[in-house]
Amino acid sequence: MYLMRIGAPGAEKPVVRVDDTHYIDVSDLTPDFDERFFASGGAATLAGRVATGRPQEFAGERIGAPIARPHQILCIGLNYSDHAAETGQAVPDEPILFTKSPNTLVGPYDDVRIPRGSTKTDWEVELGIVIGRRTSYLDSAEEARGAIAGYCVVNDVSERAFQMERGGQWSKGKSAETFNPAGPWLVTPDELADVRNLGMWLDVNGVRRQTGTTKTMIFDPYVIVHHLSQFMVLEPGDLINTGTPPGVGMGHDPQIWLQPGDVMELGIEGLGSQRQQVVGPR
């Protein structure tokens, strides 16, 4: 199942994508794809409507993030060995965790805004995991499969000077407004043959900058969810960004940073694609 939210920011309605031109409105069954929805059964509660509902045509509606603002956005750093190498950092022994402000979440085609004082805004195509039930102290990575509601494309936009040169934790470089485009849809696990073998890509102004695959992850999605559950309670609807393959602007020589007017296009096999225009500070 492909869960989407369409409509103006703050007024999105939940729908299920049927194909490129049609969807089924499920807003009478749930007000949103939020914590309550996932905790009460998630996509399984929509099966009857999807089987019998009348498809409607898309009519140019804005596509929002596929989930409502989550309780938390958790991020895993340096989760691809070749990305760690391009940044000159060692491959971690266990997942590196940092957080991103939940209000960074925007739609897959919304503008990305460079923050005030930025000199090094960067891109990162990533696989996003959405948690499907309240989860803590999982016994194994295998058990984590049952805690995952689905997967989506995310762009973990980063300001590297804020992240690396201003002291403290990475979150300062990760939490500017618009820094987490997600979607266009949340794909339930049954739709994917193997989430650990999906191609990934990102272009800037039509030039391919990132090419990768989830099979080169150091820690796969099940390991990540199991690991995080040992340190915190994961809530339904929480979003986990799982790291990026090589090709970020920081890794180029000379380094490349986003500028107003740039266009990012990115996608993951089976999960759809995004497009964002970069705009200047407020």
Per CATH, domain 73-279 is 3.30.360.10? no
**Where does the chain hold its CATH 3.90.850.10 domain(s)?**
73-279
More confident call, 272 vs 81: 272
Residue 64 phi, psi (nearest 5): -90, 180
Q: What is the pLDDT of residues 81-131, one digit of tens each?
A: 877 777 777 888 999 999 999 999 999 999 999 999 999 999 999 999 999
Collect all residues with Cβ–Cβ distance below 8 Å to 48 and sequence separation of at least 6. none
Distance of CA 149 to the CA centre of its chain: 13
C-alpha–C-alpha distance, residues 237 and 31, integer Å = 14
C-alpha–C-alpha distance, residues 111 and 64, integer Å = 12
Residues above pLDDT 70, as percent of the chain: 100
C-alpha–C-alpha distance, residues 238 and 77, integer Å = 17
Return the closest-CA partner of residue 38 out of 237, 177, 222.
237
Q: What is the pLDDT of residues 43-94, one digit of tens each?
A: 999 999 999 999 999 999 999 999 999 999 999 998 998 777 777 778 889 9
Residue 90's Cβ-side half-sphere holds a number of Cα atoms within 13 Å equal to: 3
Q: Long-range contacts for 29-36 (Cβ within 8 Å, ≥24 apart)?
A: 32/5, 32/68, 33/3, 33/5, 33/66, 33/67, 33/68, 33/186, 33/237, 34/67, 34/68, 34/237, 35/68, 35/70, 35/71, 35/235, 35/236, 35/237, 36/236
Predicted confidence at residue 81, as pLDDT, reads 80
Q: What is the pLDDT of residues 210-232, one digit of tens each?
A: 999 999 999 999 999 999 999 99
Amino acid, single-letter form, for residue 112: V
Q: What is the pLDDT of residues 231-257, one digit of tens each?
A: 999 999 999 999 999 999 999 999 999
- Joined tokens for residue 34: 């939020």
Read out DSSP for 31-91?
S-SSHHHHHTTGGGGGHHHHHHPPPEE--SPPB--SSPPPS-EEEEES-BHHHHHHTT-PP
